[in-house]
Amino acid sequence: MHIAFFTMGMSKGGTERVISNLCNDYLIGKYKLSIVTYMEWHCDYSLDRNINTYSLDFTPNNSFTQKINELNKAENKYIELMKAIQPDVVISFLPRPCIIACLAKNKLEIPVIGSYRGNPEYEIKNELLRLFVKKIFNKADGFVFQTEDAKKFFCKKLQKKSRIIMNPLNDNFVRETYRGKRSKRVVAVGRFTEEKNYQLLIRAFSKVINNYRDYKLVIYGRYDGRLHLKELVKELDLSDYVVFAGQTNDVAGSIYDASLFVLSSMSEGVPNALMEAMALGIPVVSTDCPCGGPATLIQNKENGLLVKNNDVDELANAIDYMLSHPIDAANMAKKATEIGIKYGGKSIYKEWEKYIVNICESKRMEGQ
């Protein structure tokens, strides 16, 4: 069987990591594999040399009008490519690839499984677009969501043929918990986008810094200046206490001895970074943001702290509690490491494989 994965790009990110790990660590050797990107080919992950790679070669754009105008052209290029490589099934990730794969489905007669990784309520705000997406996604033969809340956004027809499959935890984060004296660092990891809400994290940290002058807030990720966070740091007189550490190829090693990990997002699917910090045994604090990902991972006060979404005072109080109660924080962190067993890669990969094979088998039986 030839499985083709279709996504926006393969730069650093949770979706891209799921695709690369699923292919590299589990499906390779069992199936013929291809990865197709909507954007020009660029991959920040090492892929097995037997994985075929292709690109539709579009450049990213954020204009709604541009996206709509580009849709027909993208669909035609996608159809041409799929006819050339002839996969038995397409697994499309993220809204635009899912839309294109579903639009082209009748012209190709290739089974399509979509996967929505984020929060549709947050990401699809336009009412007409919501109706369009719901209608088009119904064409898919199957769909994978990460939370029940995300699944419930869509029509019952799609819900019935969908599955909840969590993100697989990268094996690199399943290791013995750090046992030395933890560094006086509060850490965060992720893309510098609005939904990550780093403004909230920086403002919350400013409210506790007077009690923790020997601590630093260290944020890992590619900072491009669009959110003006460095200006906010300067405004709050935090230049000596906030570090923009840039991207790292070793997230686990970079945060392993941190005193606290904080997720401040306004919206998430199931956040890989939070899951990974928990598996490492780092005390964690997270906003209880839609569509329910952090709440799926954290049982409040048992394996971490959940705080009200976008509430600077609650977040500051939670950070203060974890730093001032190291024994409680350590006990919660110890409990959090159980996530490494629950969401270990192979168990999640098996769920993916079973679902893909079942969809393909069902479509084959329908065709007889």
Output the pLDDT for position 253. 96
Confidence of residue 124 (pLDDT cuts 50, 70, 90): confident
- Reply yes or no on whether the pLDDT at 62 is more than 70: no
Average pLDDT score over residue span 322-349:
93
C-alpha separations of 260 from 33, 263, 311, 321, 355 in Å: 39, 10, 18, 11, 37
Confidence of residue 367 (pLDDT cuts 50, 70, 90): low
Structure tokens at 304: 């971490």
Residue 341's pLDDT band, with cuts at 50, 70 and 90, is confident
C-beta atoms surrounding 248 within 10 Å: 14
pTM of the model: 0.84
CATH level 3 topology of 171-342: Rossmann fold (3.40.50)
Of the candidate ranges 3-12, 61-70, 182-191, 353-362, the one whose mean pLDDT is the lowest: 61-70
198 vs 222: CA distance, rounded Å: 13
For the segment 148-161, what is each residue's pLDDT rounded down to a tens digit? 999 999 999 999 99
CATH number of 2-168+345-367: 3.40.50.2000
Specify the 3-state DSSP secondary structure of 60.
coil
pLDDT tens for 209-265 read 999 999 999 999 988 888 899 999 999 999 999 999 999 989 999 999 999 999 999
For the chain, the domains span 2-168+345-367, 171-342
Kindly give, in sequence order, each residue whose CB lies less than 8 Å from that of residue 338, ignoring residues fewer than 6 positions away. 303
On the question of pLDDT at 326 being above 70, the answer is yes
Q: Across residues 186-200, what is the average pLDDT?
A: 95
**Exposed/middle/buried for residue 132 (C-beta within 10 Å: 0-12, 13-18, 19+):** middle
Instruction: Tell me if domain 2-168+345-367 and domain 171-342 are identical in fold.
Output: yes
List pLDDT tens digits, range 14-31: 889 889 989 998 899 999
DSSP E strands: which ranges in the chain? Answer: 2-7, 32-39, 52-58, 89-93, 112-115, 142-145, 162-164, 183-189, 216-220, 242-246, 258-263, 284-287, 305-307
The pLDDT mean for the chain works out to 93
Res 193 pLDDT > 70: yes
The mean per-residue pLDDT over the stretch 301-320 comes to: 98
Could you tell me how far CA 87 lies from the centroid of its own chain? 25
Task: Please give the share of the chain, as a percent, with pLDDT higher than 70.
Answer: 98
Instruction: Report pLDDT for 213.
Output: 97
